[in-house]
Amino acid sequence: MTTTDSPMVVDGLSVRYGRTIAVDDVSFSVARGEVYALLGRNGAGKSSTISCLVGQRKAAAGECRLLGLDAWKQRRRAMQRVGIVPETPDIPPGACAMELGRFLGRVRPVFDHSDFARRLERVGVPQRTPAKSLSKGQRRQLALAAVLAATPEVLILDDPTLGLDAVVRRTLLEELVGELADRGTTVLVTTHDLTGIEGIADRVGIMTRGRLGLDEPMASIKDRFRRLRCIRTDGTTADDFEKTLAPLAPVQVHHAGVGVDAIVGRADERAVAQFRDRTDVREVELEPLPLEEIFVALCGADEGGAS
């Protein structure tokens, strides 16, 4: 489902590489001020979707819109109000932060030099050290500082914490949260750091094999997915029990003797109460799940394809 007046809209997007379908009829929108996490295993179609969204690739079908502008046909106008931090920041290796800031101040419609300098100082990025001599984390922070200093209305982050250690990942994400809260920026982020993004994203989309299999608020996902443990009563086969479990929309089920360990996708109060009342089940326990476990349950069997 898409909302046409949203700052980011992907509508019926399909991407092909020869005969390979990388993205297959994907639609979603990101509301103003929302943080949207686009997740998926390598090869699920995230990168191809992002390439179309930022106007770097023409879609085989459908369209992408940024701030009401066609991302392919009106890319130049759209990019003046959009910030992008790619997986590998494209900072000239010989340029230092001071030089980068001077250059961007000349070419960007808006560039806040004071904000740029304050952020670099806060995250410990030296202004006179060439980019090639900075750590990977410092280069990511430099790229993010440069983008935020241009006060974008839309921010697109392609796996911003990839390859960073746990401390740097947390620092970067915490800094990002602070900036976004103050600015009300609309954000799309792809990431493999599911623990870090869980406390940031308002909404989550999960891609598998080029299709968007899930698109809903983070709170809704955390509410309806649960780990369920119970015991089958004597005489109930595993096959018969899975018919009993079906109303809870099981995603993953493991049997160990008469014990059952399952992840279910419909753990609302009424469905669970009806399940507890069944005569072929006892000792029912439900536990909340972190986003990472939900993701693995939904995508663990996906083999991926084109990126």
185 falls within a domain:
yes
**pLDDT of 306 above 80:** no
> What is the pLDDT, as a whole number, of residue 304?
47
- Based on the domain organization, do 193 and 250 belong to the same domain? no
Percentage of the chain with pLDDT > 70? Answer: 95
> What is the pLDDT, as a whole number, of residue 182?
72
- Based on the domain organization, do 85 and 200 belong to the same domain? yes
**pLDDT of 16 above 80:** yes
Q: Distance of alpha carbon 196 from its chain centroid, rounded?
A: 11
75 falls within a domain:
yes
**pLDDT of 249 above 90:** yes
37-43-47 Cα angle (round to 5): 50
- Based on the domain organization, do 236 and 135 belong to the same domain? no
- Based on the domain organization, do 189 and 246 belong to the same domain? no
CATH number, domain of 239, equals: 3.30.70.260
300 falls within a domain:
no
Lookup: tokens for 42? 């390598």
> Measured between alpha carbons, how far is 11 from 81 in angstroms, rounded to an integer?
21
- Based on the domain organization, do 95 and 230 belong to the same domain? no
Lookup: tokens for 113? 């030099």
**pLDDT of 301 above 80:** no
**pLDDT of 114 above 50:** yes
Average pLDDT over the chain, rounded to an integer? 89
Q: Which domain holds residue 263?
A: 226-288
- Based on the domain organization, do 254 and 132 belong to the same domain? no
* Final residue in a domain of this structure, among 164, 183, 218: 218
CATH number, domain of 119, equals: 3.40.50.300
179 falls within a domain:
yes
Q: Which residue's structure tokens are 């808006």? A: 110
- Based on the domain organization, do 238 and 177 belong to the same domain? no
Q: Residues 124-182: pLDDT tens digits?
A: 899 999 999 998 888 988 998 999 899 899 999 988 877 777 777 777 777 777 677 67
Mean pLDDT of 99-122: 92
39 falls within a domain:
yes
Domain count, the chain: 2
- Based on the domain organization, do 237 and 167 belong to the same domain? no
Residues contacting 170, CB < 8 A, separation 6+: 196
Mean pLDDT of 179-200: 85
- Based on the domain organization, do 265 and 210 belong to the same domain? no
Q: Residues 32-59: pLDDT tens digits?
A: 999 999 999 988 999 999 999 999 999 9
pLDDT tier for residue 305 given thresholds of 50, 70 and 90: very low
**pLDDT of 117 above 50:** yes
- Based on the domain organization, do 176 and 127 belong to the same domain? yes
**pLDDT of 296 above 60:** yes
* Final residue in a domain of this structure, among 218, 241, 263: 218
Q: Please, where are the H alpha helices in the chain?
A: 46-53, 75-79, 97-107, 113-123, 136-149, 166-183, 194-198, 218-224, 238-245, 269-276, 291-299
192 falls within a domain:
yes
Instruction: Provide the 3-class DSSP secondary structure of residue 135.
Output: coil
> What is the pLDDT, as a whole number, of residue 134?
93
Q: What is the pTM of this model?
A: 0.88
- Based on the domain organization, do 48 and 128 belong to the same domain? yes
- Based on the domain organization, do 17 and 131 belong to the same domain? yes
pLDDT tier for residue 22 given thresholds of 50, 70 and 90: very high
Residues contacting 70, CB < 8 A, separation 6+: 63, 64, 78
**pLDDT of 192 above 80:** yes
305 falls within a domain:
no
95 falls within a domain:
yes
> What is the pLDDT, as a whole number, of residue 260?
94
